[in-house]
Amino acid sequence: MNRFSVSRRGVIAAACSAVLGLSATQAQAEEKPIKIGLTTDLTGIAATYAKAQVDAVQLAIDEINAAGGIKGRKLELLVRDSALKPELGSSLTRDLIVREKVDYLIGPDASSVGVAVTNVAKQYKKVVVMTIPNTPRLVGELFHPYFFTIVPSGTMLARAMAEGIGKDNQKIAFIGGDYEASHQAIKYFGDWLAKVNPNAKIINQQWPKLGEPDFTPYITQLLSAQPDIVFSYLWGADLIAFIKQAKPYGFFEKTKFATLLFLDDLVALGDDMPDGILGQMYAPPFGTKSPKMDAFIKKYQDKYGKYPSDWAVMGYDGMMILAEGIKTAEDWDSDSVSEAILKLKYDGLQGPLTFRDVDHQGDVPSFLGTTGKVEGLPFKGLVNIQRIEAATVMPTPEEILADRNK
């Protein structure tokens, strides 16, 4: 055996070892779970919404993992509680990315935390799919290529409400919590109302603080204004308190009432929810009749023992969209996954869904109906429900770009 032969065999062996070693490393890497980071508000007034969101995302992940994961890798969900504090949401999301090495993001809950999370996602180039926040700022000034949303934006909801109540009413009063989303809602509502019914006027506005315990002065001032209808942007505990305090005044007999409405509010109010209120909802499961939605409702009830909310519908679809994007992407990196999501034609719980190139807004519907008994539900829902298609209320690409360039 000469020296050359030994050397050549050694090189070959080393090369083989390197190849085998690289293959082993690749295999190990591919076996690592795909980490999904979810920063959401598990404490505070929106905790119920966040809990449903987490449950639904986990349900979707369990299904994906049971089917073998994505390209041989299982999914792992890492959840952090931002407690309705944007600065905390920002630091927790950064920690998920830097220390926990999450691959992609989903959530969060409040729009204020959504603003914080999307800024961190942009900084670290992480795909984030939003399933509850809907401030128009997310698709406007804060937009970036890694952001996607399947929530009807505040603009879309305000326009849908203007379509729903603007045509048949001339004198409209407003009540909403004194925070950014409410002020945006009345602005976009007013802008669209001018197109729907130029003769209609917003004659009175009431701005109680979030968490207001006593709505008495607001109730009396609204009634004194003698509106044809009151448009409410109250929600959660504020809406529940308002309705319970307004009923003794005969409020709902004296004026029509239209409000943003969450399924959690319907459940909490039970029979105290007056009939005949015009309610606007994001994604009520009872609003879509399909085998896919029926199957989701059953799976959710079997696992968690309760009827799913709007947040659950969007959380489940959001996770499935993210998974489909990862699955069809050419590579694992965010640029590839973002490109893949943008090309998706997703068949979701509420029907087909695609994203626009200009703002990555999913063409999701919203729903209007009047409160009343719904067959099969243990609480009141919406009857005479109308599905508002996104195309009828979405800002045009020109509007989005103009707003972004202000």
Model pLDDT for residues 276-314, shown as the tens digit of each residue: 999 999 999 999 999 999 999 999 999 999 999 999 999
Residues of the chain with pLDDT under 50: 1-22, 24-25, 28
Q: How far are the Cα atoms of 52, 108, 296, 306, 356 from residue 41, in angstroms, in the given order?
A: 11, 7, 24, 20, 28
Q: Where are the alpha helices (DSSP H) in 150-226?
A: 154-166, 180-196, 216-224
Report the C-alpha gap between 374 and 289 in whole angstroms.
Answer: 13
Measure the CA–CA gap between 145 and 340, rounded to whole angstroms: 12
Q: How far is CA 391 from CA 239, 314, 366, in A?
A: 29, 19, 11
The H or E element containing residue 272 is none
Q: Which pLDDT belongs to residue 79?
A: 98
- Measuring CA to CA, how many Å separate 357 from each of 47, 212, 375, 390? 32, 40, 40, 15
The CB-side HSE value for 272 (13 A sphere, CA atoms) comes to 15
CA 19 to CA 14: how far, in whole Å? 9
- Predicted local confidence at residue 45, as pLDDT: 85
22: its two tokens: 């690289």
Helices 154-166 and 180-196: crossing angle in degrees, nearest 10, is 40
The pLDDT score that the predictor gives to residue 30 is 55
Say what the pLDDT of residue 81 is.
97
Query: How far is Cα 300 from Cα 304, in angstroms, rounded to an integer?
Result: 6
Closest by Cα among 299, 298, 268, 238 to 380: 268
Q: What is the pLDDT of residue 402?
A: 93
